[in-house]
A and B are shown apart, each in its own frame.
Chain A
């Protein structure tokens, strides 16, 4: 590491504060942008309307107004949920905690990262499943039949989609030869395709099948349409979120979109080269030779790539109807998993061959 950046030389407590603030920014900023840009504006424009226009210029302050509204609302615990009120109240926090744990391993630049974790992607996939616990707890503790159905659906769905996601990632891991997210980024940006290193080697090209499977799994993991059966407003009336109000609902809401953002970041790290630009452009060879300014440009680049991916997630969300639970399971087990297994095999064979 050639640059002293951010927290390296600061006392531990100051480092910790920076890290907490950085984590908050890294979770909330994408979530806010995603909600405003895509949920408010893109959705509205796709439906030939303007969306929120009153709060701030072009409604840009709308989100703050919404947050203020939610914070004012009463924190209701349904009568039947009273015996387990503590669990009921805890559930949204678990969901959000999973998001914060995810962002820990995301690298934003050569040195701008919270932790350089050797088995980063393994860890990320593991902690992302914690949100299932929160959702199950929410569904059960609400003492509401719709919530219970939603919670069970969510559990079944997330379990079914964890597997294709892991299998899709394995292709990348084989190709990069590491599970460290930072090194996956470096491997993509220093790589070359058939000797040409003009754009590095983003794995979206070589691992296209894995990329598609990963994105489908992300869509399901986030329960966005067409895989939003756990929420399903028109049948389960928001599923596990039915009984939540006020800031607990807000936490679910933030969790949903922050996770969308973080997963898009991980996808862009795995497949689009993450924070980096092809190192050959600036004559860098290793991560140590990367200039310091990448610590500032890197997050922006990552942010841009994340936005592009979220655009696709949201675009599909706004244009398709919802699958049925059994159809989704069939799709996961009979289509995605076999394809991803074949993909792993091919990747391994090619890796050995070249």
Chain B
């Protein structure tokens, strides 16, 4: 402003004054709406403070931390096996997937690699937890947008997947099945046949959801063009998973990363969508469930025989070093930066969870939308509170 010439400055002041007059005339008293911490749309305890003008959001800001459990601190007083039990509570809907990157990071530090049968079973369970997680998202999406039926379909069919996970690992939600060097146990008999049947059911479920929700004109009018995230913004916020791929970024860590898992032995499509809006994000997730069922089917055919556990000492001491491993989790890229100083437990674990980055775009995204669109956008970004707060 100091650099402006006199006439420019006068013109500037005049325009400011004119704006102010118009604003005073039109201005209505704003309202601050507190969405959450207890609100059905935040499925958990996220709080969104929104400044409204009528039903339009002027400014919004999520306030996380109502479920902060301090996992990064807790890992410092636990041994590696105990941390495994802890981390599968981060994203509680796809819990097996949380264990994998942590275990892989520890294995990397130890220089151990799980036997190929263990890698296969890990990948199967990983994809099953993705299906369990995302199918619930598809049902929940309906509830957020006012359709009450899809969520019951989702709970119905997710149950079959959870039964599989429970049958194999013993835990419905928190399997704690991964061990450094392999798996706790082999699959129980009958798992493969059962899984094939369930995968068929899940594909039917996807068709039902597609007919019930995605094909619905109301659903489309609610989600298309709402909350558009351009590619470069998505990258600079560190968005990941379906949120990133819905912005047209063809990047999937399952395909593009060389880690000791069995994805590279399967043939699957990475789903992308060019639009970057809420519909694209939901649609990408729906298609990913389909792809996951196909991945599981392929892996079931090719499970190699052999042990599920590499030779590791009974008391695990991880050599000094630092390692970063991230995988394509149901919610996006989940990574662990593990620092070990040669003890039984890690020295520091940085948990890079997908939802934390995914939700940090919310203040940018919510400007100027309507109150119902807040719900749509939050639902389509898909976060799990445990994954934000850790």
Asked if A288 is at the interface of the complex by the 8 Å CB criterion, the answer is no
Asked if B67 is at the interface of the complex by the 8 Å CB criterion, the answer is no
Q: Name the CB-closest residue of B to A49.
A: B152
What are the interface flags for B366-378 relative to A under an 8 Å C-beta threshold, 1 for contact and 0 otherwise? 0000111111000
Asked if B219 is at the interface of the complex by the 8 Å CB criterion, the answer is yes
| A48 contacts B152, C-beta separation under 8 Å | yes
Residues of B within 8 A of A237 (CB): 39-40
Asked if B197 is at the interface of the complex by the 8 Å CB criterion, the answer is no
Residues of B within 8 A of A324 (CB): 221-222, 370, 372-373
| A319 contacts B55, C-beta separation under 8 Å | no
Given A229-B372, A235-B374, A237-B40, residue A322 in contact with residue B145 (CB < 8 A): yes
| B370 contacts A234, C-beta separation under 8 Å | no
| A321 contacts B216, C-beta separation under 8 Å | yes
Interface residues on B, range: 20 to 34
| A232 contacts B372, C-beta separation under 8 Å | yes
Given A225-B147, A234-B143, residue A325 in contact with residue B218 (CB < 8 A): no
CA distance A149 to B370 in the complex (A): 12
Asked if B269 is at the interface of the complex by the 8 Å CB criterion, the answer is no
Given A226-B218, A234-B40, A327-B221, residue A319 in contact with residue B147 (CB < 8 A): yes
Q: Which of A49, A234, A326 is B375 in contact with, Cβ under 8 Å? A: A234
What are the interface flags for A301-312 relative to B under an 8 Å C-beta threshold, 1 for contact and 0 otherwise? 000000000000
Interface centre among B143, B145, B212, B221 (most CB of A within 10 A): B145
Cβ of A94 to closest chain B Cβ, rounded Å:
25
| A318 contacts B149, C-beta separation under 8 Å | yes
| A321 contacts B147, C-beta separation under 8 Å | yes
The count of residues in chain A whose C-beta lies closer than 8 Å to any C-beta of chain B is: 28
Asked if A14 is at the interface of the complex by the 8 Å CB criterion, the answer is no
Given A233-B40, A234-B375, A321-B213, residue A225 in contact with residue B146 (CB < 8 A): yes
Q: Which of A43, A318, A322, A326 is B218 in contact with, Cβ under 8 Å? A: A322
Residues of A within 8 A of B40 (CB): 233-234, 237
Cβ of A230 to closest chain B Cβ, rounded Å:
12
| B212 contacts A319, C-beta separation under 8 Å | yes
Q: Which of B144, B149, B216 is A234 in contact with, Cβ under 8 Å? A: B144
Residues of A within 8 A of B374 (CB): 235
Asked if B235 is at the interface of the complex by the 8 Å CB criterion, the answer is no
Q: Which of B33, B146, B212, B375 is A226 in contact with, Cβ under 8 Å? A: B146
Cβ of A146 to closest chain B Cβ, rounded Å:
8
Asked if B148 is at the interface of the complex by the 8 Å CB criterion, the answer is yes
Cβ of A295 to closest chain B Cβ, rounded Å:
40
Q: Which of A145, A149, A321 is B146 in contact with, Cβ under 8 Å? A: A321
CA distance A318 to B150 in the complex (A): 9
Asked if B334 is at the interface of the complex by the 8 Å CB criterion, the answer is no
Asked if B156 is at the interface of the complex by the 8 Å CB criterion, the answer is yes
CA distance A237 to B34 in the complex (A): 12
CA distance A319 to B39 in the complex (A): 23
CA distance A225 to B144 in the complex (A): 12
Asked if A323 is at the interface of the complex by the 8 Å CB criterion, the answer is yes
Residues of A within 8 A of B375 (CB): 234-235
| A149 contacts B371, C-beta separation under 8 Å | yes
Asked if B41 is at the interface of the complex by the 8 Å CB criterion, the answer is yes
Interface centre among A43, A228, A320 (most CB of B within 10 A): A320
Given A47-B152, A233-B40, A234-B41, residue A322 in contact with residue B221 (CB < 8 A): no
Q: Which of A149, A234, A236, A318 is B145 in contact with, Cβ under 8 Å? A: A234
CA distance A107 to B367 in the complex (A): 53
Given A234-B144, A324-B373, A325-B370, residue A145 in contact with residue B149 (CB < 8 A): no
Cβ of A201 to closest chain B Cβ, rounded Å:
33
| A149 contacts B55, C-beta separation under 8 Å | yes
B-contacting residues, A40-58, CB 8 Å: 43, 46-49
Residues of B within 8 A of A319 (CB): 147, 149, 212
Cβ of A200 to closest chain B Cβ, rounded Å:
35
Asked if B187 is at the interface of the complex by the 8 Å CB criterion, the answer is no
| B370 contacts A323, C-beta separation under 8 Å | no
Asked if B153 is at the interface of the complex by the 8 Å CB criterion, the answer is yes
| A322 contacts B31, C-beta separation under 8 Å | no
Q: Name the CB-closest residue of A to B226.
A: A324
What are the interface flags for B240-258 relative to A under an 8 Å C-beta threshold, 1 for contact and 0 otherwise? 0000000000000000000
| B148 contacts A318, C-beta separation under 8 Å | yes
Cβ of B349 to closest chain A Cβ, rounded Å:
35
Cβ of A324 to closest chain B Cβ, rounded Å:
5
Residues of A within 8 A of B182 (CB): none
CA distance A43 to B219 in the complex (A): 20
Asked if B142 is at the interface of the complex by the 8 Å CB criterion, the answer is yes
CA distance A324 to B222 in the complex (A): 7
Supply 15 A–B pairs (Cβ within 8 Å), ascending by A. Answer: A47-B156, A145-B33, A149-B55, A228-B146, A235-B41, A235-B374, A318-B148, A320-B216, A321-B142, A321-B146, A321-B219, A321-B222, A322-B145, A322-B146, A325-B55
Known contacts A49-B152, A236-B371; 20 additional CB pairs below 8 A are A47-B149, A145-B33, A149-B55, A225-B146, A226-B146, A234-B143, A235-B144, A237-B40, A318-B148, A319-B212, A320-B147, A320-B218, A321-B142, A321-B146, A321-B216, A324-B221, A324-B222, A324-B370, A325-B370, A325-B372
Interface residues of B (CB under 8 A from A): 31, 33-34, 39-41, 55, 142-149, 152-153, 156, 212-213, 216, 218-219, 221-222, 370-375
Interface residues of A (CB under 8 A from B): 43, 46-49, 145-146, 149, 225-226, 228-229, 232-237, 318-327
Q: Give 4 nearest A-B pairs by CB, closest first.
A: A322-B146, A47-B152, A321-B145, A321-B147
